[in-house]
Amino acid sequence: MRVPAHSVCTAIRDDIVAGVYERGGRLTEEVLAKRYGVSRVPVREALRTLEAEGFVVTRRHAGACVAEPTEQEAADLLEMRMLLEPLGASRAAQRRTEAHLKVLRGLVRLGQERARRGSSDDLRSLGSWFHETLAQASGSPALISVLSLLRHKIAWMYSVEPPAGPVESWAEHGAIVDAVARGDSERARAVTALHAERASAAHRLRIPGAVDRGDRVRTSQHPVNMSGLRH
């Protein structure tokens, strides 16, 4: 596999998230350069970027290694996402374009259709696309960048169980789009906060040796009334 030099950072990050490189494992410039078909210079630059992002650490006598996040670091990421995704939705209600709305509505239609049919294979990718588009609609480059990094790191640290109620989950997506389309920033924030809290409960740590406690992720104590969210 040969990767353009400017894509080396993305390629290494994707492979770390996918588990190609084990946590704590060494990342040797020479080996990486050969794998991605580039010189060692872009690899070195990529490793510096990935260290700043928290995917890589530099150790004395070992050099660059894949980071080994703790349970607390993983929990912090979910909490940050639960705070920032509602902010992004609120901003999207104020700044979204018709192009953003077209994509969001199309994704909701597809997601609801797949959920009703019980076809869950591509629901996760549709959900990721939805939230990426929602972040883009916020019109805030800094927020978009932070949310993108959070998604990558959460995908690395957690596995996600399919939603118990996919139809209800996609109804929540639809309610978010309704609020964004109306320009109701407070509604968009509130609905997204409920959705993010429910979704976080389905995350299970991948960290080796971690005890999977059901109370690790804060969850809502009250069911979400979707009929109320539609008005």
Q: Give the mean pLDDT of 141-155.
A: 96
Torsion angles phi and psi, residue 167, rounded to 5: -65, -45
Residue 153: C-alpha distances to residues 40, 109, 207 (Å):
25, 28, 12
Q: What is the Cα–Cα distance from 36 to 3, expressed in whole angstroms?
A: 5
What pLDDT score was predicted for residue 165?
83
The verdict on 53 and 165 lying in the same domain is no
79 compared with 123, residue with greater pLDDT: 79
Q: What is the Cα–Cα distance from 62 to 198, expressed in whole angstroms?
A: 41
Q: What is the CATH number of the domain that holds 58?
A: 1.10.10.10
Q: Which structural domain, as residue segments, surrounds residue 126?
A: 71-229
Q: Which of helix, strand or coil describes residue 65?
A: strand
* CB-CB contact of 219 with 198 (8 Å): yes
Q: In whole numbers, what is the pLDDT of the chain averaged over residues?
A: 88
The verdict on 175 and 218 lying in the same domain is yes
Give per-residue pLDDT as tens, 160-196. Answer: 887 778 899 999 999 999 999 999 999 999 999 999 9
How many C-beta atoms lie closer than 10 Å to residue 130's C-beta? 21
What pLDDT score was predicted for residue 225?
36
Q: Which residue has the tokens 């494992």?
A: 25
Give per-residue pLDDT as tens, 12-44. Answer: 999 999 999 999 999 999 999 999 999 999 999
C-alpha dihedral (219, 223, 229, 231), degrees to nearest 10: -150
The verdict on 86 and 147 lying in the same domain is yes
**Number of domains into which the chain is organized:** 2
The verdict on 59 and 80 lying in the same domain is no
Nearest in space to 198 (alpha carbons), one of 80, 82, 42: 82
Please determine, for residue 218, whether its predicted confidence score (pLDDT) is greater than 90.
no
The verdict on 49 and 146 lying in the same domain is no
What pLDDT score was predicted for residue 163?
73
225 compared with 55, residue with greater pLDDT: 55
Q: What is the Cα–Cα distance from 100 to 87, expressed in whole angstroms?
A: 17
Q: What is the Cα–Cα distance from 164 to 144, expressed in whole angstroms?
A: 29
The verdict on 61 and 96 lying in the same domain is no
Q: Give the mean pLDDT of 39-67.
A: 94
Q: Which of helix, strand or coil describes residue 89?
A: helix
The verdict on 60 and 76 lying in the same domain is no
The verdict on 41 and 117 lying in the same domain is no
Please determine, for residue 47, whether its predicted confidence score (pLDDT) is greater than 80.
yes
